[in-house]
């Protein structure tokens, strides 16, 4: 599947490349800087260019768009006006706030620079101006109908509605028009009422309709329309137009396995309708009917019966056609799953379920492939105790060889062993509790997997962190106090220094240290050193100094708690960042605060402005009732899944969201048209509090069993009726039908074993016995 | 140490002896008295000693295991001593070690005492001696308890003390009495001429003594066949008479029935090599000796009707009327091999030690908790306790009663010392694992199938559970009282079962398709397999009484069978673990799947509630991050969603969605049978 995707993507980029190869003149810089004379002298007929005039090296967003516009043969030029120049473009003060679009030396349009606020708007506006003929702008239904009628029988129409000019959707439509403008007539509108009139009441998002006017013959009837289901992006539009351009029904006479249509290339299903010579005409009509229903969702092919030989390993489902609706529901159900969030969860379950199985399968595969386990010492009942004595520090993984989670962890463990290869003073080992239950019971291992670190002559410590390679490695490294291997240099650690003048709280601090060991580096100062330090950092002992990971500053915090548990709690709290990047690994730590999240989803690193504003927001208010944080979608791609669950389509990034996990589960989206500033956020939060915004809510669903189990009780009772009951008179269904009937809900427990031949005979034999 | 104790005991004895002259009320007191230092007595002593209890064993012989010093006469034990299983799991290996007692000392494994698969009884004697001495069990040898009576006392644990008297009139007083005397009184039948019958206890074991003789053996148990086996090669022929047909252990799945190792006579009978088996009631029999010393079989009926003075010639023999009477040939010897029964004679009537009914009359009547029906505080251990599972499970044999003895000890610890039944509390995510672990290795469940069960007590909201091992299933209703544990929100009972109707003396256990391979037909499994019962509430006494006779337990709210396995290895992910997990999920109405941390992260952001695995793992910072390779593989297989890729095309490729639409499809695929050979191989289970 992904190969097909790739193929398609590459063909598309090839197309773009053809377009873009025209204008390149070998200049290394996309943005040219010319003097007015040079510029006007270089203008070629038919070539479009976007120019802005400037007296100095002022930077404008336009420069960013140079690359994008170059793809369409439009050069972006910065014209440096000499100081004394008072010509038409350089002279006037307000001309300097505009950009000019030329074709040849003809001025087509001037744009105020504030209309060109980002790359999307520049590309959209420039193309809109250039493709004046190809893209008709309409405002009323009558205009639309006129164009439609004119096109009937000649060519097809692409009708797009965008809520505003200069948006990403607008750009996508314009870019599509650039490529397809000569094939189809493009019509654009921003009028919400017009879209409503065409029968689409939801005007909040952009929409694109393909109108099949070429085939239309009846002037009185509007052309048949196929709406595009996905968000308006260039790729989606391209895909949609490609599908619309494909033949309605493909006739196939060859091996269906070898058939390749646009649909298959785009990863869409292809419905084969088997046909015979005698019924060809009727079948063809059926196929066309189905094809119209499925247009844009699936392809339809008419397959001559006699050509059918065998379908090798392709997972093809047969359906006896009783009603064409069945085909349509089948295909549409599939695509629904992708759109409806609820369903997505369900499906996630399905997959995870497989996932567990997969872990196991993985294992069985591993059995053949052999994990590189030679770094890890295998311990047995006999060798366990002696091995512990021989090594300064021994890390032991207790696991069960049949258990899926254990085996997943074992994989990470081998990676840890790899990281720690050659590290002195620590040895990694494992005990398979399925082979040696005695050791595991003795060591109080009640769960699989368990990792313990034994120090010679000291008590053992149970590892209680995430089961990941990085976390485990860093834990072990901190435990043994060695510097980190270079692969993990990104994994920073916080150091904590206790400053004490008396011995009272010191013991508690030491105990806290042993609880937190492996997570934080801890140290302690007392007496004279303590005095110096407390003066330096302006804290009075007992206190602790905190050097955050990667940070330069050291914070001094007074230790107000006396007992160990409270101290651990306090240290854990202090270890949390004020504006953290949320990752899969650290989310639970912040959730433990049981506060709502104010979270920025950012594609890549968070922007400096957002970061600054958010910090401002948090720093001023130490006792915040929410957690301000952000998420890097590049680093934590699952964040996209979160956004997709919140909004049917991906919102434009960065996006600020308020999630209240604990009470009510409301989710609010910060309005995208506002910029993320402290003030805006605060006023928005006020609005939320006042209940002025309508939230969406997190699913409240319970985690129910994903699939039913076999109801053996019922099977047994039907097979051997209760002697007390009156079920004896009731005629029993035969074993076979029972098995089928009952077996079907749990059919997903599939592939357990090949079906026993003559099952029903056995059933009879049972009753004879 | 030992001599000092002896000295002290002696001193005490002298002291009490002196008192005895004045009043007979002076006794040596112990909390627990165990009668008999055989395997079960020693096993009980081991647990009492480990728990630090005040106990003593009385043994009439000078050494432990006196029964094994004599029996079996031909010295070959028929309990297997499997030294190799290919596994190192010590608990699992006990499943195939039928001779060892339970202890923490690895020196006390029977395979260190014998290399034979069917070991010599002398090895057992040595083993029991070592067991008593290495573990320093307190055994008082040469003390035969000849009388047991009760002394009412409100202060006593059970409202009375047990007063024991030995052969020297020494008295002992105990709060609890554990009877581990086994069954050692030979069964005899009385009929005219039974004085000519030799007993198994004394019969010669030298085959030469039987050369050229014709022998009749009474009985058809293992001792009878063992005796026959020994002389099969030198006799003219052997006939064997018993009331009912022979029962073969491989057909009945009961180790006490005739074992294949002893069944040479079946061979020679069926191949018409002169030996033979007969059925008939021994009570109707009579034996007449003729002048040449030959023994003739006749019927009691004829003897009763004859005139008194006649002598041998006047006695009617069956062949006089029925000239082809089967046992018309005279015998040189008649040997009685009718087994043993419990010694009821030492108990005072007030203890009401009653023999069981029907074929259990050789055993005393006890409850499923092994406590006497007549006397509170008297527990019967070992072979004598076999009435609980006679002809069903292994409670009459070392490999079975070592576990029931432990169960009794645990009951006593709870009852008298407030030590609840040992249990482990696990988070609910470990539910499937803990069951799979136990059904794969537990020996007590495996040997004492349908008698001992593991119990899972669910905590409120099903977030955690408590695991109790090897509880006697017959007293399930009394669980809370007997174990000191609470069952507030339902429970699972895990036992092992053979298929109903599969075992029996007359059953064909080799029929085609006897083995089930598919999880969905697991309830039809014939061979020993784990069964899990789910109850929303603890069954009541009444429900226990009214249970279906074919069921070991009352009707559950749901039941699950793990399909039988040729290798008894129930760790197959798809056939064993997955259906089990589904069953547990549906009983608890929750989702017990394991999730990667990334999925938990997504759930945390999109759901108000989390599945248990995320709640108890990820949210406590113990998420399963998964190695890079594993995640990549999961993504490739379409199991985890790769969001970087998905976003590129805007939506997902639809080919992973199998689900509701499947019901729309009628599958017309031609079934393939690629594993036909394996299917057939299953018949060899």
Write the DSSP string, B536-603. SSPPPHHHHHTS-TT-SS---SEEEEPPP-TTS----IIIIIHHHHHHHHHHHTS------HHHHHHH
Residue A32, beta-bridge partner list: A77
- Separation between Cα atoms, residue A414 and residue B72, nearest integer Å: 55
Q: Is the pLDDT of residue A341 over 50?
A: no
Higher pLDDT, A115 or A350: A115
Chain B contact probe: residue of A587, A591, A666 with most B CBs at under 10 A: A587
Mean pLDDT across the stretch A191-207? 80
**What's residue A397's pLDDT?**
94
pLDDT tier for residue B495 given thresholds of 50, 70 and 90: very high
In this prediction, residue A60 carries a pLDDT of 61
**CB-based contact A761 B637, cutoff 8 Å:** no
**A397/chain B closest Cα distance in angstroms:** 15
Residue pair B360/B183 in contact by the 8 Å Cβ criterion: no
Query: Which residue, among A509, A497, A582, A587, has the nearest Cα to A548 in the 3D structure?
Result: A497
Task: Quote the pLDDT of residue B306.
Answer: 65
pLDDT band at A30 (very low <50, low <70, confident <90, very high): low
Look at B142 and B548; give whichever has higher pLDDT. Answer: B142
Which of B639, B660, B666, B679 should one mutate to test binding to chain A, selecting the residue with the greatest count of A CBs within 10 A? B639
The string over B232-257, giving b where at least 16 C-beta atoms fall within 10 Å of a residue's C-beta and e elsewhere, is beebebbbbbbeeebbbbebbbbbbb
E strands present in A61-146: 74-80, 98-103, 106-112, 135-137
Confidence at B89, pLDDT banded by 50, 70, 90: very high
pLDDT at A343 over 50: no
pLDDT at A74 over 60: yes
| CA-angle at B538, arms to B534 and B542, nearest 5° | 115
Q: Which of A58, A61, A53 is nearest to A35 (CA)?
A: A53
Q: Does B436 touch chain A (CB under 8 A)?
A: yes
**DSSP3 helix / strand / coil % (chain A, rounded to 5):** 40, 20, 40
Asked if residue B384 lies in contact with residue B183, where contact means CB atoms within 8 angstroms, the answer is: yes
Question: What residues in A contact B655, CB-CB < 8 Å?
Answer: 1, 267, 269, 315
Nearest to B66 by CA among B98, B32, B41, B49: B41
- Residues of B whose CB is below 8 A from A333: 660-661
Is pLDDT at A454 greater than 80 in this prediction?
yes
3-class secondary structure per residue, A168-193:
HHHHHHHHHHHHHCCCCEEEEECCHH
Please judge whether B433 and A715 are an interchain contact, meaning their C-beta atoms are less than 8 angstroms apart: no
Percent of chain B exceeding pLDDT 70 equals 88
Quick one: tokens of B167? 């052969």
Q: What is the pLDDT of residue B187?
A: 92
Which has the higher per-residue pLDDT, B396 or A176? B396
Local confidence band at A330 (pLDDT 50, 70, 90 cut-offs): low
Find the closest chain B residue to A583 by CA distance.
Answer: B601
pLDDT category of residue A314 using cuts at 50, 70 and 90: very low
Report pLDDT for A550: 57
Q: Vertex B154, ends B149 and B156: CA angle to 5°?
A: 60
Q: Are A209 and A225 in contact (CB under 8 A)?
A: yes
Output b/e per residue, A635-661; b: 16+ Cβ within 10 A: ebbbbbbbbbbbeeebeebbbbbbbbb
CA atoms of B119 and B116, how far apart (whole Å): 5
pLDDT reading at A185 higher than 80: yes
Instruction: Measure CB to CB from residue A405 to each of B500, B624, B674 and give the nearest one.
Output: B624
Q: Which residue has the tokens 């997190």?
A: A698
Q: Residue B258 in contact with residue B225, Cβ under 8 Å?
A: yes
In this complex, do B585 and A350 lie within 8 Å of one another by their Cβ atoms?
Answer: no
Top-ranked range on mean pLDDT: pick from A110-114, A474-478, B239-243, B321-325:
B239-243
Chain A contact for B656, CB < 8 A? yes
pLDDT at A699: 84
Is A585 close to B597, i.e. CB distance below 8 A?
A: yes
Q: What is the pLDDT of residue A322?
A: 59
Q: Is the peptide bond before B72 cis (omega within 30 degrees of 0)?
A: yes
Query: In the prediction, which pLDDT does B347 show?
Result: 95
Instruction: Determine the residue of chain B that is closest to A320 in CA distance.
Output: B666
- Identify which of B611, B668, B679 has the shortest CB distance to residue A318: B668
Beta carbons of A136 and A146 less than 8 angstroms apart: no
Task: Using CA coordinates, name the residue in chain B closest to A462.
Answer: B622
Tell me if B621 and A412 make a contact (CB, 8 A cut-off). Answer: no
Q: Which of A407-416, A695-704, A722-731, B481-490 is predicted with the least confidence, judged by mean pLDDT?
A: A722-731
B535 Cα to chain A: minimum distance (Å): 12
The Cα A502–Cα A541 span in angstroms is 8
> Could you tell me where the beta strands, DSSP code E, fall in A88-163?
98-103, 106-112, 135-137, 157-161
Positive or negative: CA dihedral A49, A55, A56, A62: negative
Is the confidence at residue B183, as pLDDT, over 90? yes
Which pLDDT does position A305 carry in this prediction? Answer: 62
Spatial contact of B58 and B173, defined as CB atoms under 8 Å apart: no
Question: Does residue B534 contact residue B561 with C-beta atoms inside 8 Å?
Answer: no
Q: Is residue B216 scored above 80 in pLDDT?
A: yes
Asked if B668 is an interface residue toward chain A (Cβ–Cβ < 8 A), one would say: yes
The residue of B661, B664, B678, B680 whose CB has the most chain A CBs within 10 angstroms, and thus the best one to mutate to test that interface, is: B661
Strands B378-380 and B197-199: unpaired
Nearest by CB: A709 against B582, B634, B652: B582
Q: Which residue has the higher pLDDT, A75 or B67?
A: B67
Residue B585: the pLDDT is 93
pLDDT of residue B138: 96
Chain B window 460-479: which residues touch A at a Cβ cutoff of 8 Å? none
Number of helical H runs and strand E runs in chain A: 27, 27
Between CA A700 and CA B610 the distance in angstroms is 10
Question: Could you give the percent of chain B with pLDDT greater than 90?
Answer: 67
Confidence at residue B23, expressed as pLDDT on a 0 to 100 scale: 41
Size of interface A-B (CB pairs under 8 A): 366
Measured between alpha carbons, how far is B5 from A23 in angstroms, rounded to an integer? 109
Tell me the C-alpha distance between B20 and B170, whole Å: 9
Q: Which chain B residue's Cα is nearest to A330? A: B661
| Whether pLDDT at A748 is above 70 | no
Mean pLDDT, range A698-719, rounded to an integer: 86
User: pLDDT at position A357, please?
Assistant: 42
Which B residues in the span 301-320 are in contact with A, Cβ-Cβ below 8 Å? none
Highest mean pLDDT among A53-62, A442-451, B312-321: A442-451
What's the whole-number mean pLDDT along residues A212-229?
78
For residue B562, report the phi and psi dihedrals to the nearest 5 degrees: -90, 125
**Distance from the B132 Cα atom to the nearest Cα atom in chain A, whole angstroms:** 23
Compare A544 and A190 and report the one with higher pLDDT. A190
Mean pLDDT of B558-574: 93
For chain A positions 288-347, those within 8 Å of chain B (CB to CB) are: 315, 317-320, 326, 329-330, 333-335, 337-339, 341, 345-347
For the record, the structure tokens of A71 come out as 């793809």
Mean pLDDT along residues A20-47: 64
**Optimal mutation site among B464, B601, B628, B632, interface A, most CBs of chain A within 10 A:** B601
Distance (Å, rounded) from C-alpha A355 to C-alpha B639?
5
CA A166 to chain centre: 26
pLDDT of residue A70: 79
- Which residue, among B555, B573, B575, B628, would best test binding to A if mutated, counting the most A CBs under 10 Å from its CB? B573
Looking up tokens 């056609």 gives A321
Res. A365 pLDDT band, cuts 50 70 90: very low
Mean pLDDT of A480-502: 60
pLDDT at B362 over 90: yes
Whether the predicted pLDDT of B668 surpasses 80:
no
Contact: A408, B619; criterion CB under 8 Å: no
Among residues A607, A640, A652, A647, the alpha carbon closest in space to that of A168 is found at A652
pLDDT for the residue B663: 30
Mean pLDDT of chain A: 73
The alpha-carbon gap from A557 to the nearest alpha carbon of chain B, in Å, equals: 26
CB < 8 Å to A337, chain B: 654, 657, 659
Q: Given pLDDT bands bounded at 50, 70 and 90, which one contains residue A81?
A: confident
If you average pLDDT over each of A389-398, B128-137, B514-523, which comes out highest?
Answer: B128-137
Mark which residues 665-694 of A lie under 8 Å from B by CB.
Answer: 665
> A511-555 pLDDT, tens per residue?
777 777 777 777 777 666 777 777 777 777 777 777 766 555 677
Quick one: pLDDT at residue B235? Answer: 95
Q: Which residues of A touch B640 (CB under 8 A)?
A: 351, 355
Residues 6 or more apart whose CB falls under 8 angstroms from that of A226 comprise A209, A210, A212, A244, A295, A296
**B601 closest CB neighbour out of A326, A587, A711:** A587
A676 within 8 A of A656, measured Cβ to Cβ: yes
Mean pLDDT of B79-101: 94
pLDDT reported for residue B381: 96
């Amino acid at each position: 599947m992904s190969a097909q995707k790739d193929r398609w993507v590459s063909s598309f980029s090839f197309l773009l490349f053809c377009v873009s190869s025209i204008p390149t003149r070998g200049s290394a810089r996309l943005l040219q800087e010319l003097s007015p004379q040079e510029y006007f002298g270089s203008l070629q007929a038919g070539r479009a260019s976007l120019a802005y005039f400037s007296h100095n090296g002022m930077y404008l967003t336009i420069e960013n768009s140079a690359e994008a516009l170059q793809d369409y043969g439009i050069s972006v030029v910065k014209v440096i006006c000499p100081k004394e120049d008072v010509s038409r473009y350089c002279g006037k003060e307000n001309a300097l706030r505009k950009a000019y679009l030329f074709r040849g030396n003809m001025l087509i349009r001037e744009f105020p620079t504030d209309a060109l606020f980002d790359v999307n708007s520049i590309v959209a506006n420039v193309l809109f101006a250039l493709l004046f003929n190809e893209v008709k702008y309409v405002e009323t239904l009558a205009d639309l109908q006129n164009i439609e009628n004119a096109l009937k029988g000649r060519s097809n129409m692409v009708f797009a509605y965008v809520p505003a000019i200069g948006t990403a959707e607008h750009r996508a439509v314009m870019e599509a028009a650039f490529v397809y403008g000569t094939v189809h007539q493009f019509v654009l509108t921003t009028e919400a009422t017009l879209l409503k009139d065409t029968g689409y009441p939801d005007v909040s998002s952009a929409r694109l309709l393909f109108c099949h006017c070429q085939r239309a013959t009846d002037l009185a009837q509007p052309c048949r329309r196929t709406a595009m289901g996905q968000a308006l992006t260039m790729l989606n539009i391209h895909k949609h137009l490609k599908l619309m351009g494909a033949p309605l029904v493909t006739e196939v006479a060859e091996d269906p396995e070898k058939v390749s249509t646009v649909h298959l290339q785009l990863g869409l299903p292809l419905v084969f309708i088997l046909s015979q010579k005698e019924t060809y005409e009727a079948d063809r009509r059926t196929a066309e009917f189905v094809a119209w229903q499925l247009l844009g969702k699936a392809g339809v092919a008419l397959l001559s019966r006699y050509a059918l030989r065998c379908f090798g390993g392709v997972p093809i489902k047969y359906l006896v056609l009783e009603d064409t609706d069945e085909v349509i529901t089948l295909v549409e159900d599939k695509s629904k799953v992708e759109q409806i969030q609820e369903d997505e969860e369900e499906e996630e379950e399905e997959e995870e379920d497989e996932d567990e199985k997969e872990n196991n399968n993985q294992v069985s595969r591993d059995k053949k492939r052999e994990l590189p386990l030679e770094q890890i010492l295998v311990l047995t009942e006999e060798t366990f105790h002696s091995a512990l004595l021989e090594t300064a520090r021994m890390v032991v993984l207790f696991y069960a060889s049949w258990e899926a989670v254990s085996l997943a962890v074992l994989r990470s463990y081998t990676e840890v062993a790899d990281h720690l290869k050659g590290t002195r003073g620590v040895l990694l080992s494992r005990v398979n509790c399925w082979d040696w239950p005695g050791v595991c019971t003795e060591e109080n291992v009640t769960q699989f997997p368990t990792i313990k670190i034994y120090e010679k002559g000291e008590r053992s410590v149970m590892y209680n962190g995430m089961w990941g390679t990085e976390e485990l490695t860093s834990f072990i490294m901190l435990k043994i106090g060695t510097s980190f291997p270079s692969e993990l240099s990104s994994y920073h650690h916080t150091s904590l220094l206790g400053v004490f003048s008396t011995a009272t709280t010191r013991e508690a601090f030491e105990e806290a240290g042993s609880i937190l060991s492996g997570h934080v580096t801890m140290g302690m100062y007392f007496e004279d050193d303590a005095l110096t330090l407390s003066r330096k950092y302006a804290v009075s002992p007992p206190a602790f100094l905190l050097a955050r990971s990667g940070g330069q500053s050291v914070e001094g915090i007074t230790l107000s708690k006396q007992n160990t548990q409270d101290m651990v709690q306090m240290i854990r709290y202090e270890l949390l960042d004020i504006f953290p990047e949320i990752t899969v690994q650290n989310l639970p730590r912040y959730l433990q605060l049981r506060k709502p999240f104010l979270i920025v989803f950012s594609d890549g690193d968070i922007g400096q402005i957002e970061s600054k504003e958010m910090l401002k927001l948090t720093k001023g208010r130490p006792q915040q009732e929410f957690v301000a944080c952000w998420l890097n979608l590049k680093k934590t791609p699952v964040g996209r899944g979160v956004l997709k669950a919140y909004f049917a389509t991906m919102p434009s990034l960065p996006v600020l969201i308020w999630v209240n996990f604990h009470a009510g589960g409301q989710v609010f989206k910060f309005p995208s048209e506002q910029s993320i500033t402290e003030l805006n956020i605060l006023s928005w939060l006020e609005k939320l509090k006042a209940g002025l915004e309508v939230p969406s809510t997190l699913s409240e669903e319970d985690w129910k069993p994903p699939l039913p189990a076999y109801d053996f009780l019922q099977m047994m009772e039907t097979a051997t009726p209760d002697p007390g009951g009156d079920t004896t008179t009731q005629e029993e269904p035969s074993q076979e039908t029972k098995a089928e009937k009952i077996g079907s809900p749990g059919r997903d427990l599939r592939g357990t074993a090949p079906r026993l031949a003559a099952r029903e005979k056995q059933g009879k034999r049972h009753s004879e016995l | 140490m030992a001599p000092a104790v002896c000295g002290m005991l002696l001193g005490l004895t002298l002291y009490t002896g002196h008192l005895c002259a004045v009043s007979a009320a002076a006794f040596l007191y112990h909390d627990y008295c165990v009668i008999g230092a055989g395997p079960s007595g020693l096993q009980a002593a081991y647990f009492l000693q480990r728990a630090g209890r005040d106990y003593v064993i009385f043994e009439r012989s000078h050494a432990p295991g006196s029964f094994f010093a004599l029996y079996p006469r031909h010295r070959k034990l028929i309990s297997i001593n499997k030294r190799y299983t290919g596994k190192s799991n010590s608990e699992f290996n006990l499943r195939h070690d039928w001779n060892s007692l339970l202890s923490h000392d690895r020196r006390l494994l029977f395979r260190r005492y014998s290399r034979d698969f069917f070991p010599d009884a002398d090895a057992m004697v040595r083993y029991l001696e070592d067991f008593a001495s290495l573990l320093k069990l307190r055994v008082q040898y040469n003390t035969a308890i000849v009388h047991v009576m009760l002394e009412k006392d409100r202060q006593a644990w059970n409202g009375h003390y047990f007063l024991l008297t030995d052969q020297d009139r020494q008295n002992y007083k105990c709060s609890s009495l554990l009877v581990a005397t086994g069954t050692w009184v030979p069964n005899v039948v009385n009929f005219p001429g039974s004085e000519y019958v030799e007993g198994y206890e004394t019969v010669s074991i030298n085959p030469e003594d039987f050369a050229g003789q014709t022998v009749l053996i009474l009985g058809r148990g293992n001792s009878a066949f063992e005796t026959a086996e020994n002389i099969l090669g030198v006799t003219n022929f052997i006939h064997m008479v018993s009331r009912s047909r022979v029962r073969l252990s491989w057909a009945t799945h009961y180790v006490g029935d005739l074992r294949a190792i002893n069944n040479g006579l079946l061979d020679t009978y069926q191949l018409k090599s002169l030996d033979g088996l007969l059925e008939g009631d021994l009570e109707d029999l009579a034996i007449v000796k003729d002048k040449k010393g030959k023994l003739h079989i006749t019927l009691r009926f004829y003897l009763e009707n004859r005139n008194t003075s006649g002598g041998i010639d006047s006695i009617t023999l069956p062949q006089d009327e029925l000239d082809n009477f089967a046992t018309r040939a005279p015998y040189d010897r008649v040997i009685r091999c009718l087994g043993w029964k419990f010694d009821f004679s030492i108990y005072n009537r007030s203890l009401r030690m009653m023999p069981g009914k029907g074929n259990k009359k050789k055993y005393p009547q006890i409850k499923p908790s092994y406590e006497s029906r007549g006397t509170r505080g008297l527990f019967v251990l070992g072979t004598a306790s076999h009435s609980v599972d006679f002809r069903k499970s292994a409670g009459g044999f070392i490999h079975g009663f070592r576990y029931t003895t432990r169960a009794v000890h645990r009951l006593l610890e709870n009852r008298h010392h407030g030590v609840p039944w040992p249990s482990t509390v696990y988070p609910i995510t470990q539910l499937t694992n803990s069951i799979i672990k136990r059904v794969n290795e537990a020996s007590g469940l495996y040997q004492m199938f349908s008698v001992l069960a593991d119990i899972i007590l669910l905590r409120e909201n099903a977030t955690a559970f408590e695991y109790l091992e090897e509880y006697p299933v017959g007293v399930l209703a009394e669980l809370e009282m007997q174990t000191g544990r609470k069952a507030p929100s339902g429970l699972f009972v895990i036992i092992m079962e053979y298929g109903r109707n599969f075992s029996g003396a007359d059953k064909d256990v080799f029929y085609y398709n006897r083995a089930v391979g598919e999880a969905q037909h697991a309830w039809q499994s014939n061979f020993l397999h784990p069964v899990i019962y789910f109850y929303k509430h603890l069954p009541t006494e009444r429900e226990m009484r009214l249970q279906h006779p074919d069921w070991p337990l009352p009707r559950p709210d749901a039941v699950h069978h793990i399909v039988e396995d040729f290798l008894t290895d129930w760790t197959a992910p798809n056939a064993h673990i997955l259906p089990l997990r589904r069953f547990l999920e549906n009983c608890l109405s929750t989702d017990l799947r394991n999730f990667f941390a990334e999925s938990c992260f997504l759930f945390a952001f999109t759901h108000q509630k989390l599945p248990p695995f995320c709640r108890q793992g990820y949210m406590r910072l113990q998420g399963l991050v998964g190695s890079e390779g594993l995640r990549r593989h999961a993504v490739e297989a379409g199991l985890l969603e790769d969001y970087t890729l998905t976003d590129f095309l805007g939506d997902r490729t639809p080919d992973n969605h199998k689900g509701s639409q499947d019901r729309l499809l009628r599958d017309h695929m031609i079934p393939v049978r690629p594993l036909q050979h394996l299917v057939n191989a299953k018949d060899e289970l």
